[in-house]
């Protein structure tokens, strides 16, 4: 017998309409590319999202069309999220930090009909346009007054497009499994692959973000997503914030420590979210300028492992609680968040930080397993580590246009490419990317562990560990380190520091100081580049 509940489809347009009705006065504040701070309410955002959908409809945009965006975090980008998906088209966010060849590949692969671009990226499209034959037009996210000089043909001014319609628009209702947005993986090897989210997956993921064991968002919070809207939909925050009516503060193009700090203070931000590189800059600015937070309570660190030194600084020096979280483009992205259980209440501050180093427990909806090389499940004992596999309603079932073929195992799990342990309480800890782990004499050394400890050594700003071939041990770790400005830290200092926390056989065989480390378009250390540069490095132990 079936239950008798209404079958209302889960629609992205309902999120913004819910916010407009239930949190009409709550604000979305944006630092604009043009300069000034823009502020308006969820009610206005919903009206303008409807207006955009109606204008796009008039322009001839149809359900299923891919609409590209290359834009910072800001109110017009939020309207595009809702307007495009709401009308049944697909909002395809593009990461401007990718190489031009990758951008061309992605745009042609997705067959984007129109591209929304912030003023910042118009010069880039001036150069790329000749390689993008399928793009019908470029919608520049500005008003007439700020329209730039450009060689692009078929240019549309966003505000003029808006002026072609009013906000009297009825959102269509359709199958909740309809594609709503598209995001390509940063792909350190091979071509980027598209992950296509649906209305259903996006709404369910938003619930998970709002739960206290997720990011705990609510109307009581003011959230500043530093994570860009072109990186896995800013971790779903623009949707989840509408679901719970959280005030949103959008940093626009200015993501340096000073700009972020000032915006956090002036807007009373209580929670933020971003990758460790961003926090490194913010914390450096605060230290240099002797600043403290007046409203920040929590920060979400994800995208790469949060080093202990960073968690300690946030918690002990600034009283900001760190939520270490893990996920990936293929997972919308939230998989786990490290919130403590009540049994942890009596742990000492240091023990709590030990636990925060883990990436945390699965949010409801995410099913995890770790498996050995033979595909057999490994125990959740916090020690055994294996390939981390996941399944759930906001996890991809396959890549866009079938790239990569069948990617699920017979139980429906997706291989994340991460290697992890899971303890008896369900806390998962990433020990490495499967490609980055160092296989030394039959034992595995976690590059992440060594890196995290190395950045705890005074004078070290950033560190990366890669495997270098070794005749006796197969592979041995080489540490590449960037010194803090003015620091005279030596190889011996770092090794001495590591000895306090890492087993002798896991210590790097050598340390090389570099001016900077290469990063991917999403802020991760680009290990493939380091491996190709230092793969032949002659270790002193050979
Ligand atoms: P992306 O799809 O660009 O978001 O990258 C996803 C990958 O980033 C994951 O598979 C992990 O390798 C890595 N990652 C994300 N969050 C964390 C974290 N908290 N700690 C360690 N690695 C992480």
- pLDDT for res 142: 98
Q: Whose CA is nearest to atom 5 of ligand 1?
A: 328
Helices (H), 420-539: 447-454, 491-499, 527-534
What residues form DSSP beta bridges with 252? 73
- pLDDT for res 502: 87
> Looking at the structure, do residues 19 and 42 belong to the same domain, yes or no?
yes
Task: Tell how far CA 31 is from the center of its chain.
Answer: 20
Domain boundary among 410, 433, 456: 433
CA-angle at 278, arms to 127 and 80, nearest 5°: 50
CATH classification of the domain holding 387: 2.30.38.10
Q: What is the DSSP letter of 120?
A: G
Ligand 1 atom nearest 417 alpha carbon: 10
* List of residues 6+ apart from 256 with CB closer than 8 A: 281, 285
Q: Whose CA is nearest to atom 15 of ligand 1?
A: 303
Count: domains in the chain: 3
- pLDDT for res 444: 82
* List of residues 6+ apart from 38 with CB closer than 8 A: 29, 30, 31, 32, 74, 75
Catalytic residues: 185, 330, 439, 444
Q: Which 3 state secondary structure label does DSSP give 28?
A: strand
**Residue of 189, 197, 303 to mutate, ligand 1, most atoms within 8 A of C-beta:** 303
Ligand 1 atom nearest 329 alpha carbon: 2
> Looking at the structure, do residues 150 and 116 belong to the same domain, yes or no?
yes
Q: In the numeric block, which tokens belong to residue 158? A: 């966003």
Residue 491 Cα to ligand 1 middle (Å): 29
Sign (positive or negative) of CA dihedral 348, 352, 353, 357: positive
CATH classification of the domain holding 83: 3.40.50.12780
Residue 185 lies in a domain: yes
- Report the side by side order of strands in the sheet with 334-337: 37-41, 27-31, 247-250, 222-225, 271-274, 298-301, 321-327, 334-337, 361-362
> Looking at the structure, do residues 372 and 515 belong to the same domain, yes or no?
no
Residue 433 Cα to ligand 1 middle (Å): 9
Strands 474-483, 460-470: pairing is antiparallel
Residue 59 lies in a domain: yes
Residue 70 lies in a domain: yes
- pLDDT for res 188: 56
Ligand 1 atom nearest 185 alpha carbon: 2
- pLDDT for res 345: 97
> Looking at the structure, do residues 406 and 477 belong to the same domain, yes or no?
no
> Looking at the structure, do residues 249 and 111 belong to the same domain, yes or no?
yes
> Looking at the structure, do residues 448 and 378 belong to the same domain, yes or no?
no
Q: Whose CA is nearest to atom 8 of ligand 1?
A: 303
Ligand 1 atom nearest 448 alpha carbon: 21
Domain range enclosing 178: 13-254
Residue 304 Cα to ligand 1 middle (Å): 5
The candidate with the shortest Cα–Cα distance to 160, out of 55, 260, 13, 279, is: 55
**Residue of 430, 522, 528 to mutate, ligand 1, most atoms within 8 A of C-beta:** 430
Residue 523 lies in a domain: yes
Note whether 11 and 171 are within 8 A (CB): yes
> Looking at the structure, do residues 240 and 118 belong to the same domain, yes or no?
yes
Torsion angles phi and psi, residue 519, rounded to 5: -120, 155
> Looking at the structure, do residues 521 and 378 belong to the same domain, yes or no?
no
Residue 295 lies in a domain: no
Ligand 1 atom nearest 325 alpha carbon: 19
> Looking at the structure, do residues 389 and 505 belong to the same domain, yes or no?
no
User: Does residue 303's CB lie within 6 angstroms of at least one atom of ligand 1?
Assistant: yes
User: Does residue 238's CB lie within 6 angstroms of at least one atom of ligand 1?
Assistant: no
What is the C-alpha separation between 511 and 465, in angstroms, rounded?
9
User: Does residue 185's CB lie within 6 angstroms of at least one atom of ligand 1?
Assistant: yes
The candidate with the shortest Cα–Cα distance to 424, out of 361, 364, 373, 363, is: 361
Residue 243 lies in a domain: yes
Strands 90-93, 155-157: pairing is unpaired
* List of residues 6+ apart from 139 with CB closer than 8 A: 114, 115, 116, 117, 156, 157, 158, 161
> Looking at the structure, do residues 35 and 137 belong to the same domain, yes or no?
yes
Domain boundary among 416, 433, 450: 433
pLDDT in tens, 114-168: 999 999 999 999 999 999 999 999 999 999 999 999 999 999 999 999 999 999 9
User: Does residue 302's CB lie within 6 angstroms of at least one atom of ligand 1?
Assistant: yes
CATH classification of the domain holding 455: 3.30.300.30
Strands 438-440, 443-445: pairing is antiparallel
Residue 135 lies in a domain: yes
What is the C-alpha separation between 498 and 473, in angstroms, rounded?
20
Q: Whose CA is nearest to atom 7 of ligand 1?
A: 328
Residue 315 lies in a domain: no
> Looking at the structure, do residues 110 and 241 belong to the same domain, yes or no?
yes
Question: Whole-model pTM?
Answer: 0.91
What is the C-alpha separation between 387 and 494, in angstroms, rounded?
30
- Measure Cα distances from 312 to 136, 297, 350, 353 in Å: 50, 14, 9, 7
Residue 455 Cα to ligand 1 middle (Å): 19
**Burial code of 179-199, b = ≥16 C-beta within 10 A, e = fewer?**
bbbbbbbbbbeeebbbbbbbb
> Looking at the structure, do residues 64 and 197 belong to the same domain, yes or no?
yes
* List of residues 6+ apart from 506 with CB closer than 8 A: 440, 445, 449, 450, 477
**Residue of 304, 464, 528 to mutate, ligand 1, most atoms within 8 A of C-beta:** 304
User: Does residue 232's CB lie within 6 angstroms of at least one atom of ligand 1?
Assistant: yes
Question: Where are the extended beta strands (E) located within 199-312?
Answer: 222-225, 247-250, 271-274, 298-301
CB atoms within 10 A of CB 372: 12
Low pLDDT (below 70) residues in the chain: 186-189
Note the residue count of the chain. Answer: 542
Ligand 1 atom nearest 520 alpha carbon: 3
Domain boundary among 190, 220, 254: 254
Kind and range of the H or E run holding 51:
helix 42-59
């Amino acid at each position: 017998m079936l239950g008798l509940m209404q079958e209302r489809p889960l629609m992205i347009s309902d999120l913004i309409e819910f916010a407009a009705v239930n949190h009409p006065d709550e604000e979305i504040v944006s630092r604009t590319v043009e300069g000034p701070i823009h502020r308006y309410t969820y009610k206005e955002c919903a009206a303008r999202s409807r207006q955009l959908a109606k204008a796009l409809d008039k322009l001839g945009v149809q359900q299923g069309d891919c609409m590209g965006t290359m834009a910072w975090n800001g109110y017009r980008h939020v309207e595009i999220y809702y307007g495009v998906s709401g009308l049944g088209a697909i909002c395809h966010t593009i990461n401007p930090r990718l190489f031009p060849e990758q951008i061309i590949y992605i745009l042609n692969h997705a067959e984007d009909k129109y591209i929304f671009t912030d003023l910042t990226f118009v010069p880039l499209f001036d150069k790329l346009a000749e390689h993008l034959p399928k793009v019908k037009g470029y919608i520049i996210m500005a008003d007439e007054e700020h329209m730039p000089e450009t060689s692009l043909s078929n240019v549309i001014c966003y505000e003029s497009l808006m002026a072609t319609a009013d906000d009297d628009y009825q959102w269509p209702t359709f199958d909740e499994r309809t594609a709503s947005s598209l995001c390509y993986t940063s792909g350190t090897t091979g071509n980027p692959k598209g992950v296509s989210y649906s209305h259903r997956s996006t709404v369910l993921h938003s619930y998970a973000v709002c739960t206290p064991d997720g990011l705990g968002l609510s109307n009581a919070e003011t959230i500043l997503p530093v994570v860009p809207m072109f990186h896995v939909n800013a971790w779903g925050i623009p949707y989840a914030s509408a679901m719970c009516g959280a005030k949103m503060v959008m940093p626009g193009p200015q993501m340096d420590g000073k700009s972020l700090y000032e915006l956090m203070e002036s807007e009373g931000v209580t929670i933020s979210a971003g990758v460790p590189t961003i926090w490194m800059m913010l914390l450096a600015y605060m230290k240099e300028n002797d600043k403290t937070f007046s409203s920040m309570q929590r920060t979400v660190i994800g995208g790469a492992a949060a080093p202990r030194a960073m968690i300690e600084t946030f918690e002990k020096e600034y009283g900001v609680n760190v939520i270490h979280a893990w996920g990936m483009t293929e997972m919308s992205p939230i998989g786990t968040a490290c919130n403590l259980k009540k049994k942890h209440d009596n742990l000492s501050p240091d023990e709590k930080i030990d636990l925060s180093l883990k990436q945390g427990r699965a949010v409801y909806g995410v099913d995890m397993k770790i498996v050995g090389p033979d595909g057999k499940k490994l125990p959740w004992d916090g020690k055994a580590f294996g390939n981390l596999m996941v399944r759930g309603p906001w996890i991809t079932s396959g890549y866009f246009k079938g790239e990569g073929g069948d990617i699920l195992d017979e139980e429906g799990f997706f291989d994340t490419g991460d290697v992890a342990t899971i303890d008896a309480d369900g806390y998962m800890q990433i020990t490495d990317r499967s490609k980055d782990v160092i296989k030394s004499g039959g034992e595995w050394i976690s590059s992440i562990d060594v890196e995290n400890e190395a950045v705890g050594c005074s004078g070290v700003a950033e560190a990366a560990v890669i495997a270098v071939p070794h005749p006796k041990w197969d592979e041995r770790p080489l540490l590449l380190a960037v010194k803090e400005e003015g620091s005279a830290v030596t190889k011996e200092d770092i090794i001495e520091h590591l000895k306090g926390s890492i087993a002798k056989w896991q210590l790097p065989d050598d340390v090389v100081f570099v001016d900077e480390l290469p990063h991917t378009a999403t802020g991760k250390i680009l290990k493939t580049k380091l491996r190709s540069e230092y793969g032949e490095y002659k270790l002193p132990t050979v």
